[in-house]
Structure 1
Amino acid sequence: MEVRRQHRIYDLTRLLHLQIVLDESAPHRVVGSPDVMREQLERLNVLGAEPHITMQVLPCTADAHPGLSGPFSILQFADSPQAQSAPLRRFPWADAWPWPRRCSGSVAPTTRGSGRCSAVTEEWSAQALADHLVVRQDLIGIRTEVNVDVEADVAWVTEPPVKDLDLYNHVVEASMEIASGLAVVMGCSDYLDDAPRIHVEPGWVRLRVQKSNLAAAAVAGISSDESPDTVERVKIEMWPQGPSAPSVLKRWH
């Protein structure tokens, strides 16, 4: 099957036009050994030079897209070349979680001290570091107290939750537009493909970031994620609400 397919690609009497879109994370993911990866990249370089092969790279900064849930097909009709149809698969995580949508686990740190996340490098001002928060229309960055993994609990709710400020050390709120209806939760060192998604109502949402156990985590430092007694905990709740200014409801020193 593989030989027949390759023969079809190189058969000069009936060349197929092959268009390839690679996710940016794919060439960076080591499968096998560095030597194997080098040969794969060299092969892609050779194929990309062929006149009937178009190769493109989809950057990790791109928004959520159908390819995140697996392969899909674009169909073109002979009687109407301009008409195209792209049957898309449903995102599996949209059906897997009942309301409220929630994901839990450990999340890589966004930034600590002088560290910076490349997606929002310029936005980390002294005030943003003090607030533990960077806000853009389509992205919210959260500074962690420690430069190791933290426990994260992220949930979508249908209305503003009750404020339990006594349970947390630092609480902030901000607004973000999620036009796709999918919120991506990831640390700066995570791959976009591997990051969990949460199904939300498309449009503007309000986020409340509630951080706890910060004193124990700060004392333990880079060992804080080795014990539940010292791990930094971040709880994020999202609900539908129009845009409004960021707000610090409780500040950690």
Structure 2
Amino acid sequence: MENQDRVAAAESLLAAYDGEAVAPLSETYPDIDLEDAYAIQRIQLDRWVAGGRSVRGHKVGLTSRVMQRQLGVDQPDYGQLLDTMIHGEGQALDPADFVQPKVEPEIAFVLGRDLAGPGVTVVDAVRAVDCVLPALEIIDSRIRDWRIGLADTVADNASSGAVVLGTRPVRLADIDLRLTGCVLAVDGEIAATGAGGAVLGSPINALVWLANTVGALGTTLEAGQVVIPGSLTAAQALRPGGTVRATFAGLGTVTTRMELAA
């Protein structure tokens, strides 16, 4: 892609946050590749930061084998978590902030020290984690009808929307992330179940992958940042007025609701 096309694609995605999803970039720009997609993501990030927002963390997507097979890829992708995207336990979400939201349960890492790749190992990642929290990721797509390929979701900040963090921190030494089970309930009904092993075998592997991938590009995962490593279950639709509760074995619960305007 020419740089002017990358800028035009980024501007179309930025405009879509107002509620009107766009056609898949892979259709509008048939020659788009992964390098183009991350460049488009970066253009948007630079615009947000220039407008006063700040990066408070990162997300890893496409960590389940099912989703990788669906999109024909063999590795995850990543996006950025901005200050305006992070919400507290029980805090109501505004439907106007989303285009076509879905919800996923995740185990969030809170970093206690910087983590700079490449060369990061599992041991390095474990040492860098201050604690883990139960979390809900609200994924969203500015691509019409979720008709996404890899380039589409990467360009769209890895289909990021928001993150709701629980308030009960747990040390890594007190939990087996691989075996941590989760029950996701939507509007009081069980919608999905899963376990940490669905995330690249263990969520810590997603943290290692992220640190090494962005580290090679000169980005350090910083102390105090939040990293969400991927969903334990399939994503579920989240409607206006809906409520969601995720219960994690050994980690507790986290809830949120999509509150209709009065």
- TM-score, scaled to structure 1: 0.29
Q: Which has the higher helix share?
A: 2
Q: Who wins on radius of gyration, i.e. which is larger?
A: 1
- TM-score, scaled to structure 2: 0.28
